[in-house]
């Protein structure tokens, strides 16, 4: 039985979502040492939660005023902003193909915990200079306000420029940025207004007659029970499936390097096989060169999808093999469960190894 539990752990690498949160506990007590305070200053804090709202794919409505009291030039663009270095920074790239100044650009956003300042940098293929902005959150304006001072050459003249940006986060799916500029000490004028609206998920190109991929796509909180011994390990983790391959499949990647029992990374693709009428899943992990291939049909009457797979591997120098099935059942489009059972070769009966409840965020 002990060996069965160990083999269950190996199967978990192939099955479970693997997003194991790092647990910490504030024990209270004495003031933190200088070393502890320094370390805390290097970690993402409360201010970074605001920056995290930028993560995702965005449609941009860009307005530019070329002269005072004139209608703006309006353009459409898109950008993808993603976290980098453990959420310390948010990085985005864009390309402006319309308007008077077509160009490509990149932006880095961050917050200096030591100085309590928001910062961002913009670089483009129109200039060799880095525009460096810095500022704070204005509680009254409900906005992050950043400033920069620089010199600019324009039509044979050099101007001293003071630029102010106002970032407002209207909801989880929309934020705005205004650019207000003063040239050579003249009164400030509004030059740019950008509205970022979260892009809608790409509709699946596959037939997917039961809409299973659409139900799986998105951000979920997962409550898990994992049997690696007589009592289950209980934990909660986030999980995200996104469209890939022009909407033919969805993909999920995870990093469980902090998992004490079995540190690893993994990726899973799920698609609908239009020839067989089954859903297919391929799962790969960093601890093995094997691909585990699952297939199964959806039963509309019971709202259940049952995947089946032949499994094999090596654990502690011993080879194992068997048959697994993963039973997915939907309560609604926003909540479903998955239970994994395995019968190892040589075992008398099937064992339940993983039980998960997915709730859409």
Domain annotation for the chain: domains and CATH numbers? 2-21+202-360 (2.40.128.20), 55-198 (2.40.128.20)
Pick left, alpha or beta for residue 184 (phi over 0 → left; psi -120 to 50 → alpha; otherwise beta).
left
**Strand pairing report for 318-332 and 304-315:** antiparallel
| Spatial contact of 250 and 270, defined as CB atoms under 8 Å apart | yes
pLDDT value at position 327?
Answer: 95
Q: What does the pLDDT look like over 307-353, one tens digit per residue?
A: 999 988 777 778 888 899 999 999 998 999 999 999 988 888 898 98
pLDDT for 153 beyond 70: yes
pLDDT for 7 beyond 70: no
pLDDT value at position 152?
Answer: 80
- Find the length of the chain: 361
| pTM passes above 0.75 | no
Helix (H, G, I), strand (E, B) or coil at 120: strand
| Residue/partner pairs of 239-248 with CB below 8 Å, 24 or more apart | 239/17, 239/19, 239/358, 241/216, 241/217, 241/270, 242/201, 242/217, 243/201, 243/202, 243/204, 243/217, 244/269, 245/271, 246/202, 246/205, 247/202, 247/203, 247/204, 247/205, 247/206, 248/204, 248/205, 248/206
pLDDT for 137 beyond 90: yes
């Amino acid at each position: 039985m002990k060996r069965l539990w160990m083999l269950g752990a190996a199967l978990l690498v192939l099955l479970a979502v693997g997003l194991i949160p790092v647990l910490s506990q504030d024990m209270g007590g004495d003031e933190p040492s200088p070393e502890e305070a320094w370390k805390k200053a290097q970690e993402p804090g409360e201010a970074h939660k605001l920056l995290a709202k930028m993560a995702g794919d965005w449609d941009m409505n860009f307005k530019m005023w070329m002269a005072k009291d004139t209608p703006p030039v309006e353009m459409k663009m898109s950008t993808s902003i993603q976290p980098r270095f453990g959420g310390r920074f948010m990085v985005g790239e864009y390309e402006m193909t319309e308007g008077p100044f077509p160009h490509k650009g990149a932006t880095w956003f961050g917050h200096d915990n030591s100085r309590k300042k928001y910062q961002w940098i913009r670089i483009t293929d129109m200039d060799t200079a880095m525009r460096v902005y810095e500022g704070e959150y204005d509680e009254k304006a409900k906005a992050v306000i950043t400033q920069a001072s620089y010199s600019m050459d324009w039509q044979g003249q050099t101007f001293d420029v003071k630029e102010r940006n106002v970032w407002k986060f209207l909801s989880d799916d929309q934020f705005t940025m205004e650019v207000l500029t003063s040239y050579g000490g003249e009164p400030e004028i509004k030059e740019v207004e950008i509205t970022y609206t979260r892009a809608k998920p790409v509709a699946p190109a596959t037939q997917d007659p039961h809409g299973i991929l659409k139900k799986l796509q998105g951000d979920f909180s997962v409550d898990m029970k994992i049997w690696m011994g007589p009592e289950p390990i209980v934990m909660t983790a986030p999980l995200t499936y996104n469209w890939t391959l022009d909407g033919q499949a969805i993909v999920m990647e995870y990093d469980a390097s902090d998992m004490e029992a079995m540190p690893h990374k993994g990726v899973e693709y799920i698609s609908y096989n239009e020839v067989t009428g089954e859903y297919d899943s391929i799962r790969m992990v960093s601890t093995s060169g094997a691909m585990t291939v699952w297939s199964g049909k959806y039963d509309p009457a019971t709202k259940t999808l049952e995947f089946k797979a032949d499994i094999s591997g090596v654990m502690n120098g011993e080879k194992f093999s068997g048959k697994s099935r993963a039973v997915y059942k939907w309560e609604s489009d926003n909540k479903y469960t998955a239970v994994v059972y395995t019968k190892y070769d040589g075992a008398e009966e099937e064992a339940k190894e993983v039980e998960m409840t997915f709730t859409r965020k």
